[in-house]
A and B are shown apart, each in its own frame.
Chain A
């Protein structure tokens, strides 16, 4: 197990370093910089003044030197300050993260609950009416982009029936009901996008398990169909599905950008968009670092979770990796 953890740690750090480097370079290759963004439409600036402002921001220094300063500070937990608000990047991220976490939690909850209902229903009679119906639903869910689902939901629930708010955010600490109300539409939007992936994956995995000889053994015992489904087929299908779920959680954490922006939720996704428009280098880098770390940590946690479900992974991990 220790050996496994070390290997996993090394590869994670490699991924982290490479992706941070890529982000650092690409935002600087893009046209424009924070100074130009701050000046906006004001074109009456002399080149001398521009150069001075860039010098103050430290943008005149060679790229490698900028990178070095950033890495050295980041290693000490200092991600720099926003060029615009002058807030510390760590603080900006810390304020925004809970919103993203909450939204991700609800989206995943939605997806997990519906997958655990739909996949077994689908597998009960493959090719039957119910299975085909669920198949159509997932096809639609996979092909319709999240923002379209969001817009449709807003049209119905906020504009037509006016039962749910479409934009804004109230912290949990202020009002729980207000907060939850604002979370409903974004969560459904994200959930409807994530559910089809999970349903399809779980269904395929369950169908495969259903063909296994040990399911025949279970049938031969005289067990009821529902017991076979939930005690034998489903638990055995969870291992591959959990890996998929880990990826989905990772993607959702980083991919709620659009949903947050559409529903005006001040999460890390909106922070990413705002700072990208303004070329607020330090903030973009901080957000990227956070999202990549979250992604690595969640997929790792879900791999550990697989070990909890499958004793073979739990007990054999070491031997297998050494072999």
Chain B
């Protein structure tokens, strides 16, 4: 299996009083064809920016400072904006955080899908309409022939997210990015949309990058997981390994602070003390050191790099001793 997505040393910066500072630093990861990769981390960890970089939808003041993004072997950051436009929708497509605001409010949903279909296929409007109805049916919208004439404000959040998914699929992309795609939905709808994404990914052999702050969602969905903290990758591995035995102290803390119906209600929920550092105020050594319970003096002076540990990549200098102790 080849790497459909190959991100190498991606660094994004924002301006601050100290000049441009990195918000995403030296990030590398790959996604194989048909693979589902989860990207987790708390707010401000840089996960959404990573997603937008893949779509080249990074806007001022954020800037892609360095790195390469290969989609199907092509470094897309080297393409002109006009050349890359052809990748959007047909190679790589995205599902957005809030379905309520992700659609044009004064355009019928059918027209919004048809617009995208006609952009990627040279077919008549009537054929595009038929295809749009098919797509709506495949994302589980009841009575698609009627719904195609609805405006976004006439539909619920869950239904709108299905429409957004239909639009994303309309160009038959190979890679799908879901940026907090279920966050704005209620729990039961969340479940249904996730199942739908899962089914579509299987059927179409899609590579998916699922971005979420919800570890439960990531666990349920992905094959592998990337954990980000403070703009850096801290742990990367198979979802089962990472979940049953997290190596990085941040991943462990994140798992411990989880709260859902699978967690014992009598046990107090642990939280991670402190706040994630702002981009212009990151500590010199390990970014997580100020909040970590295992910090030693070396942590604050030396920035850890990702190292391979038992089929995994972890950025922690104490990973061996800590994982043994666990």
Contacts and interface: CB of A to CB of B under 8 A. Distances in A.
Given A222-B90, A224-B85, A311-B151, A217 B106 contact: no
Given A214-B103, A310-B106, A312-B105, A220 B119 contact: no
B93 interface: yes
Interface string A33-50: 000000000000000000
B88 interface: yes
A298 B90 CA distance: 47
Which 5 residue pairs spanning A and B have beta carbons closest together?
A: A222-B88, A222-B89, A213-B101, A221-B116, A311-B151
6 contacts: A213-B97, A213-B98, A222-B119, A223-B115, A232-B104, A310-B106
B164 A222 contact: no
B119 A216 contact: no
A218 interface: yes
Given A213-B96, A232-B107, 17 more contacts: A212-B101, A213-B97, A213-B101, A214-B102, A214-B104, A217-B96, A217-B102, A217-B167, A218-B104, A219-B57, A220-B57, A220-B88, A221-B171, A222-B86, A222-B116, A310-B105, A315-B151
Interface of A: 212-214, 216-224, 231-232, 235-236, 309-312, 315-316
A237 B86 CA distance: 27
A312 B153 contact: yes
Nearest to B105: A312
B103 A220 contact: no
Interface in B271-305: none
B85 A222 contact: yes
A312 B86 contact: no
B316 interface: no
A216 to B, nearest CB: 6
Contacts of B153: 311-312, 316
Interface string B49-77: 00000010100000000000000000000
B225 interface: no
Contacts, number: 76
B218 interface: no
A119 B96 CA distance: 29
Nearest to A224: B85
B87 interface: yes
A222 B171 CA distance: 9
A59 B293 CA distance: 95
Nearest to B100: A213
Nearest to B90: A222
B94 interface: yes
A214 B164 CA distance: 10
A221 B167 CA distance: 8
A311 B104 CA distance: 11
Contacts of B94: 220
Contact of B102 (A213, A224, A232): A213
A214 B152 CA distance: 11
Contact of A235 (B106, B116, B120, B168): B106
Contacts of A218: 104
A54 B249 CA distance: 99
Contact of A236 (B89, B104, B120, B164): B104
A312 B106 contact: yes
B88 to A, nearest CB: 4
B88 A216 contact: no
